[in-house]
Amino acid sequence: MVKVVKREKKAVGRPPLGPFVGKRAVLNSRITQRTRQALEEAASVTGRSLSQEVEIRLEHSFIDPMRTLEDREMATNIRCMSEQLHTIDRCMERIETAVRSTNFAGVGGARRWTRLLDWWRKTDSKHGKI
């Protein structure tokens, strides 16, 4: 009878230096060249490595979709409010020009309007609104 001897497989690569605690796991994946280029461009814009960019995008995909929807709605609302404030500011500039250029309710009335507009501008600029 022939005896079969099993050999232990030789380990491939460098052995780990210690426990796998707090380290990143390796994930290999195949992606299209177009996706890779888009990821590389995004990584260069943000100053991250390609691996960091992929990891952050994957983490974001697990965030509660309702939360991201609320964030987008909030951003849209802030953008709309900003546009409205710019419109109001342009209107106030027109009013200010009209008040200063005409005899609106006499000289005293024009001065009161001018002081009111100046106060409004100073107050808003202190709070960073203009």
Looking at residue 129, its pLDDT comes to: 52
- pLDDT for 32 equals 95
Q: Where are the alpha helices (DSSP H) in the chain?
A: 33-46, 50-61, 65-101, 106-126
68: number of CA atoms within 13 Å, CB side?
Answer: 7
pTM, rounded to two decimals: 0.38
List, for the chain, all residue ranges whose pLDDT scores fall below the cut of 50: 130
Cα–Cα distance, 63 to 119 (Å, whole number)? 45
* Amino acid 130: pLDDT: 47
**So what's the pLDDT on residue 47?**
92
From CA 7, how far away is CA 31, in angstroms rounded? 38
Nearest in space to 90 (alpha carbons), one of 79, 82, 80, 101: 82
